[in-house]
Structure 1
Amino acid sequence: MKNIVWISLLLGVAYAQQEYKFCAPIDTISDDACYALQRGESKVSCFRVTDSAECAIRLAQGKADFGVFNAEELLLAYQFYPLDISPIFQLRHRERQEEEFEFQTVAVVPADLTQKAVSPDERLKQLKNGGFCHPGFSKSQWWNDYILKHFERTVISPHCQDNVTVIENEIRSLRDFFGKACRPGEWAADSSIDQELKNKYPELCALCDNQATCSYNNKEKHGHFGAMECLARHDGKVAYVALNYVREYFKTNATFQFLCPNGNILPLKTETPCAWLKQPWSVVAARKEIAKDLKIDLWKWLKPSLPFGFKENDWEIALNKIIQDDSRAFNLTEMSLATYLSKGREIDISNIETCGKTIRWCTIGDLETNKCRWVARAARALDVQPNISCSKSNSTFECFRDIAENRADIITIDSNYGYLARTVYGLSTILYSETETDKNSVIISVVREPKDNNYPIKNFHDLKNRKACFPEYGGIGWLNFINVARSNGIISSKSCDYPLLVSKLLSGACSPGVEDTDHTRTPISSDVSSKFCSACRYQNNTSCAVNETNRYYSDEGAMRCLSEGAGDIAFVKAANIIEKTIDSNMYRILCKNGSLAETPGFKFDEFCALSVTIDSEVGIIFLKLFNLYTYIHIFNVCVWAHAYIYISVVQCIKSNKLQCFFQLVGRKDDTQIFRTDTFLALLKLENWLGYRVSPRRSIHIYGPFNGTFNLLFKDSTSGLVSTSSMKKSVLAYKELFSHVDQCSTGSFAATTNFVLVILITLYHFFFSHN
């Protein structure tokens, strides 16, 4: 009995001394704050996480105990852990403690709109062709697209047309319903597309003070005052704005009323206005198992215990500063996440209707697929369109095949795979991943430092009958070698048969993967592939594979190939070998200008490196619409069925406007529409989940996920840039592929010329027999 008592007492003491782990996102809580929180006999320690998504995961796993979530973060956490996390305190702004919600969105209409006795449903229909005053889209406010578009999405049923982009479907539907509007700000995440839409649909800027810039003169309160001025001068019949701004601007003006989601109306002076969306306040949330006990302790630490709110312990002061800096904690009765959120938000975001084809993101392994699912749900909650789904695979090459065979659509690839993606699998680039300057992909060529200063390779012309070490066949090191060989005239710049050209130049090479079907479009002759593997099969190394069985695979392997004498020169990515090479003085760089570096080692600048480029890109399948089969197939259908398409072809030929024919065929799969939708969706994701001036985001799309780096995007990514970017590293990367693209274009031109001859011949044959 005594033992039981002692055990109970020890357990009680252990529990009393329990240290709670508080989620501390690295972007929002500083190291200093964490150090202060853990001073003295603190009962709380910082548990570092990347973002609120990781905090939710750690709470569900039991590795952390509590954290602070805003409504958007809580909504995302609910999608994965609806029962594992409990809100325990609500955090209301110190100056708005009497308000039940952080904000509420309302629709305001003129009172004369509602004078006629009509049903609530008819009242919503009265908005048609009445004009719409919208506060606008700006990065300075925290209303995301879901909130900003909630009213219009509810009033207007989506009309999806396949021949236009998702954003144009949205804009067209707005124009067709409201007639005119002022909808300021960025409609599309790309400035050129945004301007094209504003030029095409000027009606949606017609009610603005400045129609040319599609903006209000009064931008106070993030454009909400401008929207209410638009309504007040009777330019539009409805304004969608924040409730607190309505009360500030209109006060209880009897000439305006609230329009409710059910079509009813209420006076502005009502104490219970009808909102279209109610945003819950931020909360302190805990893992469910300890929520009750933590709530008791936390309330003691957060509640002022001395006059004027002073605390005795430094760590309690720090905890209050972190949690209640500009807010005050309010006790919540025990409830689920669903109960808390559903008071003002729609929590089942899977049923939101969207236009456009779903973007199928190809992912590699469970970890990346899991991050993709979080990003996809976050995108849905932010109203990023089209929807995103995640297609799990086992390797980059499996993803390439899935995309080529229409089982997936996009993948982010290391720059090392750019050549293979284009030449073997027919992929092209949607966006480039902008790289932090010190993490660019820098390729160098390295030779051994001879003991007698007698360099067998002093320039690139000395590569004749030498052996080269490549990290991987078709990789970025291989492509840099091809470019420098062409520019120095040691291989022909007119031929596209790189394997044959290189095999004639070198006496041997180690090119891991050259015998792998993943790395070649068509089988390479045994003589060529044997030469490209000859340096790999040196001494005890017998493998030419792209895995650990080949000690000369990868950048480190290529340096090993060089140091062990299997090859005479290596083409490698600097970042992968500099810190891992034992003695850099054993090597010297052969610079881009064809001269050896002045000193041994890996000291170089951008003029010495073969290339300094971006580190990764987002690729998509490029459907080759202009191929022989397509032409002959469509032509036969048109000829024998006498379809209208054939008439268009004839008219084009008669008027010598053959380009009309190509444009017609190009519409077969609407590829450009999907590419644009994907391009804009990824840019919108970056706006909300990438690096922001204000760091609060539900999940960091470029950062680590659940403690793992390089998932979906490489950790070197700082943002996304378009294929037309003039950024130096992007231009350098594109320059690497200039000849590859020329080869593809030349092949295409030969095919189209041949097809045109057939078409014109058949055209004359057809008319000569009619």
Structure 2
Amino acid sequence: MGAILLLLCILLQALAIESVGPLIRAGSSLAFVRLCVTSSDYDECLQMSKVANQTISCVRARDKYECMKLIIDNEADIVNLNSEELYLAGRLYNLEPFAMEQYDGDTQYYKSVVIINNKANINSMSDLKGKRSCHGGLNSTHGWDIPIGLLLATMTMSPDCRGEMYSVSKFFDQSCAPGPWSSDSGIDMELKQLHSNLCAACQNSTLCSDTDEFAGDEGALKCLFSGYGQVAFTTSKTVERFLLSDKLDRLERRLMNNYVYLCLDGTKVPLDGKPCEWAHKPTNVFVTAGSRDKRDKEWFLSYLQQLFFRFVPYKPSWWRMKSLFSDPMHVTQILPVPTHLQRWDRYLGNFISSIEKPLPLCELNSVTMCTTSPEEELKCFDLQKAAFSQRLRPEIDCKRRASKQECLELIAKRQADLVAVDLSDLYEAPQAIVQQLEPVGVAQGFSDYAVAVVRADSGIKFLYQLGGRRSCHASFGDLASWLSPLSVLTERSLLDQASCNKADQMAEYFGGSCVPGAADLRVNHYRSGSDKLCAACRGDSEGVHQCERSSSERYHGQAGALRCLVEGAGEVAFVSLSSLAGNVDGRSQERWARNVPLALDSRNFRLVCRSGPSMPLGDYERCHLTKLPGKLMVGTKFTSKEDRLAIRQLLIRLVDKFATGTERDMFELFGPYLNKSDLMFDDSTRRIVPMKLEMSTFDMAIRLHFDPSYQQIPITNKDANCKIVLTTTSAAAAQSLISGSLYALVVLLNCLVCLMAIVSSSTLSQNLNLNHRYTSNQ
């Protein structure tokens, strides 16, 4: 019998698939529907298109935000959006909802309601001021965002221009808004100490966690009914479930008469009456361009309805893709959006206030990110809009400058707040700039490595054998090809750890090098060792622009350093593993590489290890110089503790929303953008680890998150010709014994010892500037 039923199901499924195409085309001038889907759903969409007889075309997009642009550009027809995404699509692009999901038989996910103690003398929204409030959680849309947004929008709650948490603290006497306020435990604790009033009405006001008795939707009611609060913000369904449950004894049920719904107009409704909502969250909608003809919208709706009902009993594997329906287990119908609601603002109604949370009469409170290219700036502004729609505050602003150095200068002047930089960018920055900066966070992701590459027939097997050999580097100050070998050679005592000039030491250690930029005063101050560091460079095809830090020098960049090795100008190339892998075995896109395909066979190269003999390229995990660190998020340290916390919390929430959370489908924070790589962040970034306020020094960031050898690298003074570096051991010992100004004195004494040694050997330059920034343990 079971086998017969299974066969019947298969036959019915086949009939459904065969009948989709002809039915949906009847009476329509359109050949197919172009559904925009995110990359993660694209393969499943292609399966759906195949079984639907190609009547639906899948348009691949990076995220929902790109889908909105594709619809405006007439490269796609429709996309499924939630309420926050609809806010963005309607406000920015005038996309209109035409079909909505029915979710568990309803067209609203929930209704946000307000319950008050009828004896608390509350007869209007303004009477809530000075009362004790129960929210269920700080990150609850119905328990926090909707009521706070409406209280601000109606000017019932006077805005504190520092932000909504300050505004709420001033408005209510005490509150319970438990739960994790930040996914970083340190930031979470700092925020709760700063805004302790928002935890004061919780049962455990110290922890104020999501395990609190008053956490969650029902927790907000318990907070109210237990007398800790006088007003609770929750959902109508929660109230109905709670009253029907066995959680109330007879006495408590009689006391329910003391509680009522508070409506927006100040009227009150008994709990057993019809709830008056402050706002509701509507279900997902399908949107299309506002300029679309009415008949097109009707046809799109008809298509979706037929597609839904043909497959809903059997649910093939592609049914679960979120780009089609929000939740295939709970969506019960596809309905037309009523004509009077076919505008984004009308469809969302009061829910808009939960997103905008206006602070009228306040100057814009923003975090300004510095960018260095038009594409990066465009991504920043797109992130700004996506973040605003997800209620992330402070708002993001964007400024563009020509280089990372200019961005660092802008931050030092407090005209911008954040920029992502490599350690090499700090290496080049002047003392006056670096002293005003601090690491806000450290980007982490898939590992890349700095490697030393030699030809397999070179006879070089060990690191110490590189002495006297010709070397190839991407550029002066580059992380993988300059700082990494510099740090490892210093750590291995192949370079003097107390040397006052690493550039001269590198020049003397190798037997001639190509380090593009070594003669550039902007990066190699006083051009230390530049003759030898530029000796292996060749310039362009006419022999000019030799050793320039640009593509005019044929050996500039990661691919250029490898070319330097392949063409015999050098005997070792220092590059990143990712660039090496992208240029061997026929993968290189460089023109010069086409002429030497055999020379770029990976079997012709070996890696020189940090310790031990050389190995094939495939053994990079065991044989590399350093694991390359991610970018540092850098800000100014000369700002208030509150602002420093706000910036860190914004970074954390950006990652939580757009990198690891469900909103990643809405906007993807990391990865290629507009077919460009490494905009704002490295593509490989997966998270950003915030630096604790009391540990926000570059020394500490390097010690905690970088390869230990990087502690040998000074973050140099741009105007310095002498750079003192303490050994890892001595610096750690010094810091364990002394701190503050005394530690600075020890560093200064080390510097003086070094200077005296230099004077005695008659190598001290007459123009030596003694006003240096000496950095230890970096």
TM bin (shorter chain): 0.7 to 0.9
**Shift of residue 597 of structure 1?**
1.2
Matched, 1:587 2:596: no
- In the alignment, which of 657, 680, 685 is matched to residue 717 of structure 1? 685
Q: What CA deviation, in whole Å up to 9, does each residue of 1:652-688 have, x standing for no partner?
A: xxxxxxxxxxxxxxxxx42654333211110011111
Paired residues of 1:67 and 1:285 also in contact (CA < 8 A)? yes
CA change 1:217–1:479 in 2 (3 A) is: closer
| Superposition deviation, residue 281 in structure 1 | 2.2
Paired position in structure 1 for 2:177: 183
Q: Which residue of 1 aligns with 2:613?
A: 596
**Aligned with residue 66 of structure 2, among 54, 63, 76:** 54
Within 5 A, what are the aligned runs for 1:568-583? 568-581=571-584, 582-583=600-601
Amino acid at match of 1:280: P
| In 2, Cα distance between equivalents of 1:136 and 1:559 | 55
Which residue identity does 2:635 align to in structure 1?
Answer: I
Of 114, 119, 126, the match for 1:112: 119
Q: CA deviation at 1:485?
A: 1.9
Q: Tell me the amino acid that sits aligned with residue 229 of structure 1.
A: K
The answer as to whether partners of 1:108 and 1:238 remain within 8 angstroms in 2 is yes
- Any conservation in 2 of the 1:380–1:387 contact (CA below 8 Å)? yes
TM-score by length of 2: 0.75
Whether the 8 Å CA contact 1:145–1:384 is kept in 2: the answer is no
Q: Secondary structure at 2:614's aligned position in 1?
A: coil
- Aligned mate of 1:294, from 268, 293, 296: 296
Q: Give the letter aligned to residue 615 of structure 1.
A: G
Superposed CA RMSD in Å reads 4.1
> How far 1:371 sits from its partner (Å)?
1.9
Q: Counterpart of 1:550 in structure 2: which amino acid?
A: E
CA distance in structure 2 between the aligned counterparts of 1:206 and 1:316, rounded to whole angstroms: 48
Amino acid across the alignment from 1:490: L
Deviations 1:19-68 (A, max 9, x none): 221011234x3623431233353321111112210110111111111010
8 Å CA contact retained: 1:445, 1:589: yes
1:368 corresponding residue in structure 2: 376
Aligned to 1:627: none
Contact 1:144 1:382 in 2 (8 A): no
* Residue pair 1:209, 1:216 contacting (<8 A) in 2 also: no
Q: Residue type matched to 2:238 in 1?
A: Y
- Structure 1 residues 605, 242: CA separation in 2 closer, same or farther (over 3 Å shift)? same
**Structure-1 separation of matches of 2:484 and 2:535:** 21
Residues 148, 357 of structure 2: 8 Å contact kept: no
5+ residue gaps, structure 2, are: 1-24, 245-252, 585-599, 717-722, 732-739, 749-778
Whether the aligned pair in 1 keeps the contact of 2:176 and 2:200 (CA below 8 Å) is yes
Residue 360 of structure 1 aligns to a residue whose secondary structure is: strand
The 1:356/1:585 distance shift into structure 2, 3 A limit, reads same
Q: CA offsets per residue over residues 348-383 of structure 1, 9 Å max, x none? A: 939546799521111233332222112112222333
Q: Distance in 1 between matches of 2:521 and 2:143?
A: 46
Q: State yes or no: 1:448 paired with 2:447.
A: no
Distance 1:734-1:77 versus aligned 2 partners, 3 A rule = farther
The change in CA–CA distance for 1:283 and 1:549 in structure 2 (over 3 A counts) is same
Structure 1, residues 245-287: CA drift from partner, whole Å, max 9, x if none?
1233247953212234454444434536140x33232111012
User: How many angstroms apart in 2 are the aligned matches of 1:484 and 1:305?
Assistant: 62
Cα 1:466–1:360 change in 2 (3 A) is: same
Residues in 1 aligned to 2:399 and 2:143: alpha-carbon distance in whole angstroms: 27
Is 1:677 the counterpart of 2:679 in the alignment? no
C-alpha distance in 2, partners of 1:51/1:510?
A: 43
Letter in 1 for 2:397: S
Query: In the alignment, residue 492 of structure 1 is paired with which amino acid?
Result: D
Task: Check if 1:26 corresponds to 2:39.
Answer: yes
Instruction: State which drifts further: 570-579 or 741-750.
Output: 741-750
| Residues 1:615 and 1:319: Cα distance change in structure 2 (over 3 Å) | closer
Supply the distance in 2 between the matched residues of 1:201 and 1:299 (Cα, whole angstroms): 48
SS in 1 for 2:534: helix
1:687 to 632, 648, 656: 656
Amino acid across the alignment from 2:276: P
The Cα of 1:311 is off from its aligned counterpart by 9.7
Other-structure match for 2:247: none
Q: How many residues align?
A: 661
Contact 2:411 2:636 (8 Å CA) reproduced? yes
Alpha-carbon distance, 1:616 to partner: 2.6
Paired residues of 2:490 and 2:497 also in contact (CA < 8 A): yes
CA distance 1:745–1:291, shift in 2 (3 Å) = farther
Match of 2:282 in 1: 280
Query: In structure 2, how many angstroms separate the alpha carbons of the residues matched to 1:445 and 1:134?
Result: 57
Q: What is the rounded CA distance, in whole Å, between the counterparts of 1:475 and 1:463 in structure 2? A: 19
Identity of aligned residues (%): 23
The alignment partner of 2:451 has SS state of strand
In the other structure, the counterpart of 1:566 is: 569
Partners of 1:350 and 1:196 lie apart in 2 by: 23
Match of 1:150 in 2: 149
Letter of the structure 2 residue corresponding to residue 113 of structure 1: A
The answer to whether the 8 A contact 1:432-1:730 is kept is no
Mapped to 2, the partners of 1:587 and 1:305 lie a distance apart of 56
2:160 matched residue in structure 1: 159
List per-residue Cα deviations over 1:686-717 (Å, max 9, x = no partner): 1112222x466421212444554433222211
Match of 1:628 in 2: none
Deviation at 1:109, TM superposition (A): 0.6
The 3-state SS of whatever aligns with 1:481 is helix
Q: Give the partner amino acid of 1:87.
A: P
Task: Give the AA of the match of 1:592.
Answer: R
Structure-1 residue corresponding to 2:441: 431
Matched, 1:241 2:234: yes
Matched residue type, 1:150: G
TM-score by length of 1: 0.76
In structure 2, relative to structure 1, the CA distance for the partners of 1:719 and 1:574 (3 Å cut) is same
1:228 aligns with 2:221: yes
* 1:552 counterpart letter in structure 2: Y
**In structure 2, what is the Cα distance between the partners aligned to 1:45 and 1:471?**
45
Could you tell me whether the CA contact under 8 Å between 2:262 and 2:276 is conserved in 1? no
Q: Distance in 2 between matches of 1:745 and 1:266?
A: 73
| 2: CA distance, partners of 1:159 / 1:67 | 38
**Matched residue SS, 1:678:** helix
1:511 to 504, 508, 515: 515
Other-structure match for 1:135: 136
1:79 to partner: Cα distance: 3.6
Q: CA deviation at 1:14?
A: 12
The one of 188, 202, 215 equivalent to 1:194 is 188
CA distance in 2, matches of 1:560, 1:309: 57
- Cα distance change of structure 1 residues 491 and 42 upon mapping to structure 2, 3 Å threshold: closer
1:337-736 aligned at under 5 Å gives the runs: 337-342=344-349, 344-346=351-353, 349=356, 351-352=358-359, 358-414=366-422, 417=425, 419-420=427-428, 426=434, 427-436=437-446, 440-450=447-457, 455=459, 457-476=460-479, 477-520=481-524, 523-525=525-527, 528-537=529-538, 540=541, 541-542=543-544, 543-581=546-584, 582-593=600-611, 595-598=612-615, 601-621=616-636, 669-670=638-639, 672-692=641-661, 694=662, 697-706=665-674, 708-723=676-691, 731-733=705-707, 735-736=709-710
Contact 1:611–1:732 under 8 Å retained in 2: no
Cα shift at 1:603: 2.7
Match of 2:258 among 250, 255, 259: 255
Counterpart Cα distance in 2 of 1:193 and 1:319: 35
Q: Which amino acid aligns with 1:110?
A: N
Compared CA separation, residues 696 and 293, structure 1 to 2 (3 A) = farther
**Cα separation, 1, equivalents of 2:711 and 2:425:** 12
Structure 2 Cα separation of the partners of residues 730 and 216 of structure 1: 30
From 324, 327, 335, give the equivalent of 1:330.
335
* 1:386 Cα deviation after fit: 2.0
Q: Distance in 2 between matches of 1:539 and 1:348?
A: 55
In the alignment, which residue of structure 2 is the partner of 1:268?
271
User: Is the CA contact (8 Å cut-off) linking 1:65 and 1:290 kept in structure 2?
Assistant: no
Flag the 1:414–1:293 CA change in 2: closer, same or farther, 3 A: farther
- CA shift in 2, pair 1:413/1:149, >3 Å: farther
C-alpha distance in 2, partners of 1:294/1:606? 56
1:240 is paired with a residue whose SS is strand
Deviation at 1:609, TM superposition (A): 0.7
